[in-house]
Amino acid sequence: NRQTHHKLKKVRMPIEPTKSIWMNGDLVPWDEAKIHVLTHTLHYGTGVFEGIRAYETAQGPAIFRLKEHMDRLINSAKILSIPMPYTSEQLQDAAKAVVRDSGLSSCYIRPLAYYGYGEMGLATSNCVVDVAIACWPWGAYLGDDAATKGVRMKISSWVRHDHNIMPPASKTTGNYANSTLAKMEALNAGYDEAVMLNKEGLVAECSGENIFVCRNGKIMTPPFVSGALEGITQHTVMSIVRDLGHEVSFEALARSDLYTADEMFVVGTAAEVSAVNSVDDRSVLCPGPITTQVAELYADTVRGKNPKYAHWCEEV
């Protein structure tokens, strides 16, 4: 219908090609960075990835929390028993090389480790592991005005992975079929984003972000045991919240906690800090004072303007 078409058109974020992509140790021209149609991970979802941003700073482009992202990529691979052919330090250097080569002052960076061409079937013991890192200009995932206007959330009918089904601690390509189903359900219903519950009915996370609830002067986010990914932006925001003098903790949350929140925001590398204006059509103060404070300080921090966390900005 027209509403759905308009909504889907609104959120389109096409990729803008850059100069090159790092593949298995070499910078390859963008249009030559190709894989075979029988690549193992294309068929079975057996890859791991990261989403990272580089921001323009007074010292030039700097990648935010690069080490933490590459360390998590290594850990994701370990959980899936993927033998990574590169160290975190090598991947960090490769990411810097890609950004330098692009000439961009700010960009989104996508590392991907995957089983390549050569073997087919569920077993991966004889499969080769390939690694690629690309970057391109990319705006705010939930919209440029998401920090102030907020986003409309819907509790998804799709349940977040259980720890013994697909490990949510690993940022696995195949895991995101679950997130895609939830995201598309929300968009098709006219919402901006989905909130995913676990099999016990407790809040896990959104389709691609961690969620924070502010209630009675306390700020809460679901624990990892509930099925949330251990977010790097989540950790950054928790540090910022404490610097602002607020209490923040991991707490199990039910959907009713979202309905009765004083204010709410979601965070992620792609989404940054985005306010929430409603959940299942229950209005939330948007943007609330805490959300506004956090969004402003986060924006300064990732751009190297917060001296306390300047070490998180890795110059390229």
H or E element that contains 236: helix 232-243
Measured between alpha carbons, how far is 211 from 203 in angstroms, rounded to an integer?
9
Catalytic residue among 96, 154, 171, 183: 171
Q: State both tokens at 303.
A: 């751009």
**Residues linked to residue 214 through DSSP beta bridges, in sequence order:** 219, 263
- 171 catalytic? Reply is yes
Q: What are the helix (H) ranges across 45-158?
A: 66-79, 88-102
Residues 6+ apart with CB under 8 A from 47: 41, 82, 112, 113, 114, 115, 172, 173, 174
8 Å CB contact between 73 and 169: no
Q: Are strands 272-279 and 151-155 parallel, antiparallel or unpaired?
A: parallel
Beta strands in the chain (DSSP E): 20-23, 26-29, 48-49, 52-57, 60-64, 107-115, 129-136, 151-155, 193-197, 203-206, 210-215, 218-221, 247-250, 263-268, 272-279, 282-283, 313-315
Active site residues: 171
